[in-house]
Chain A
Amino acid sequence: MSTQVSLEERFQARIDAEQKIEPKDWMPEAYRKTLIRQISQHAHSEVVGMLPEGNWITRAPSLRRKVALLAKVQDEAGHGLYLYSAAETLGISREELYNELLSGKAKYSSIFNYPTLTWADMGAVGWLVDGAAIMNQVALCKCSYGPYARAMVRVCKEESFHQRQGFEILLTLSKGTPEQRAMCQDAINRWWWPSMMMFGPNDSDSPHSAQSMRWKIKRYSNDTLRQKFVDMAAEQIRVLNMTLPDPDLRWNEERGHYDFGPIDWNEFNEVLKGNGPCNRERLAARRKAWEEGAWVREAAMAHAAKRQQQSVQSH
């Protein structure tokens, strides 16, 4: 018992001293579990996140946009891979994690349960959704768990490129025809509040936050990051000559931040429970790809086994 206490104390001391925890280091079971849950949710989000944008690859309006979108969705697959690898360092397999996603047991970011209805959504998703993701992920680059922090450094570089690309799509639309301008505003209207919800519940309703902050998995509170996001978007929306769909949005001189209106947590909770517009489709698409790919994965394994046997016999 006393050795346990001292292990935990030493662990916390290392964290307080800003040392990175590495896979072979001792760590409390709860720390490991928290990380597995968080990293795998993050990985699943990348992989489910391929779907709403993949939805526009075949309809991208120019060859340049088509190439950029293909590359972006491919980046997200890559992010999924780094993150599954980071989770695997904690002693769980990618297959196990993936099964939890397919069974509906594991969560992924609720934002991907909203539909992409027009081309402008490719801009709004890049600007707002990747933008909100970056706020979270930049903070995670300093996370106490080494493999996660390092994966995030790579991911962040690409995410900020996605965000700029999304903004540039909107900027082009904002300078376009009246139809394009309307499309642009409509996409911003639809993606704004769901993006605000990406930071999670208010700090007062966020039960795991305190422990995660102590472990330095989390560096900033949900509300702090959300405020940073609002401050960024409230400035950039002016460049677009569009508006954010929040009548309460205004600069607060005293706070040095933008004030904003209340979030509809009821909607957030419903989407989380599975009642978002696309929850069923997203999971069904992931299951379909996985099930229809089973024979391919089996064939690859069977072939590799045959090859190995041949090389054993020929020696």
Chain B
Amino acid sequence: MRDFLLLLADNTQILGHRLGEWCGHGPELEIDMAMTNLALDLVGQSRNYYQYLAELEGKGRTEDDLAYLRDAREFRNCLLVEQPNGDFARTVARNFLFDSWHFFFLQALCNSNDERLAAIAAKSLKEVTYHLRWSSEWVIRLGDGTEESHRRIQDAFDHLWTYRGELLTPAPFETEAASAGYGVDLHSIKPLTEDKLADILYQATLRRPEDGWMQSGGKTGRHSEHLGYLLAEMQYVQRAYPNSVW
């Protein structure tokens, strides 16, 4: 249960953090506000998972201990969400690849035999329905926009494609979670996310990149170099002033 909860918590925390980096720097005010909404939702979702895990542990650790006092090797998020924002196209493609998986994952998680998890999933699903709509619409707008936007979003998908495989490939703790009934069988959601992807790429006049070698390792704590910097920034105050209340 612990690793499975950390996977959910860290995925949403790290992606939320990345979106927070945009805050104040978006292409226009409305987009800025929309990305901040996504960040707020995702960080909020991660808090639900961290809090649940902290309770299950019963060691007096808090959500903040879990987010701020673990090192990169202990993070369970997939590699995709820690990838840098890049340009707006890169962010949109990253979010869409995540959302088009996250949405169906949460739908399935609503059937978890763990009531608390099912409840968190149901609540998150409402938000992620909007996230998927937001990123889908932007993929279409950029893909079927100008020559430049088309090139940028296609490049973004080409670049990020290698991180897509990990979303749909279960780590051992996910297989365990699925067979125990509180997790999600990734094979069951694969066709759904494939269909969504195909539909949106088609509408966006984009080419589906080749399924080549897929990077993996995030779920078991073997991350890209990016995560260390992200955590150095995110955890700095907590680490510099230990045992303080903020």
Partner-B contacts on A (CB < 8 A): 47, 50-51, 54, 57-67, 70-71, 73-74, 77-78, 80-81, 119, 172, 175-177, 179-180, 285, 288-289, 292-300, 302-303, 306
Residue of B nearest to A67 (CB): B43
B39 to chain A, nearest CB (A): 6
7 nearest A-B pairs in the assembled complex, by CB-CB distance = A293-B27, A299-B145, A299-B149, A54-B24, A61-B237, A61-B246, A50-B24
Q: Are B47 and A63 in contact (CB under 8 A)?
A: yes
Q: Are A70 and B43 in contact (CB under 8 A)?
A: yes
Chain A residue contacts of B141, Cβ below 8 A: 299-300, 303
Q: Are B246 and A78 in contact (CB under 8 A)?
A: no
Q: What separation, in Å, do the CA atoms of A192 and B22 have in the docked complex?
A: 29
Q: Are A50 and B64 in contact (CB under 8 A)?
A: no
Chain A residue contacts of B30, Cβ below 8 A: 81
CB contacts between A and B, total, < 8 Å: 136
Main secondary structure of the interface of A (DSSP, over half): helix
Residue of A nearest to B17 (CB): A58
Q: Are A285 and B246 in contact (CB under 8 A)?
A: no
Partner-A contacts on B (CB < 8 A): 17, 20-21, 23-33, 36-37, 39-40, 43-44, 46-47, 50, 63-64, 67-68, 87-88, 140-142, 144-146, 148-149, 152, 233-234, 236-238, 241, 243-246
Find A77's partner among B33, B142, B241 (CB 8 Å cutoff): B33
Q: What separation, in Å, do the CA atoms of A74 and B68 have in the docked complex?
A: 24
Q: Are A292 and B27 in contact (CB under 8 A)?
A: yes
Instruction: Count chain A CB atoms within 10 A of each CB in B17, B30, B37, B146 and give the residue with the most.
Output: B146
Q: Are B146 and A295 in contact (CB under 8 A)?
A: yes
Q: What separation, in Å, do the CA atoms of A35 and B239 have in the docked complex?
A: 48
Chain A residue contacts of B21, Cβ below 8 A: 57-58
Q: Are B246 and A302 in contact (CB under 8 A)?
A: no
Q: Are B236 and A70 in contact (CB under 8 A)?
A: no
Instruction: Count chain B CB atoms within 10 A of each CB in A61, A179, A289 and give the residue with the most.
Output: A61
Find A303's partner among B25, B145, B152, B243 (CB 8 Å cutoff): B145
Instruction: Count chain B CB atoms within 10 A of each CB in A66, A80, A288, A298 and give the residue with the most.
Output: A66
Q: Are B36 and A74 in contact (CB under 8 A)?
A: yes
A221 to chain B, nearest CB (A): 33
Known: A57-B21, A81-B30, A302-B146. 19 other contacts (CB 8 A): A51-B24, A54-B24, A54-B25, A61-B237, A61-B246, A63-B43, A66-B43, A67-B43, A67-B44, A70-B23, A74-B23, A78-B33, A180-B244, A289-B25, A289-B27, A293-B26, A294-B27, A296-B88, A300-B145
Q: What separation, in Å, do the CA atoms of A302 and B147 have in the docked complex?
A: 10
Q: Are A172 and B28 in contact (CB under 8 A)?
A: no
Chain A residue contacts of B24, Cβ below 8 A: 50-51, 54, 73, 77, 285, 289
Residue of B nearest to A293 (CB): B27
Q: Are B63 and A63 in contact (CB under 8 A)?
A: yes
* A59-B149 contact in complex given A70-B43, A77-B29, C-beta closer than 8 Å: no
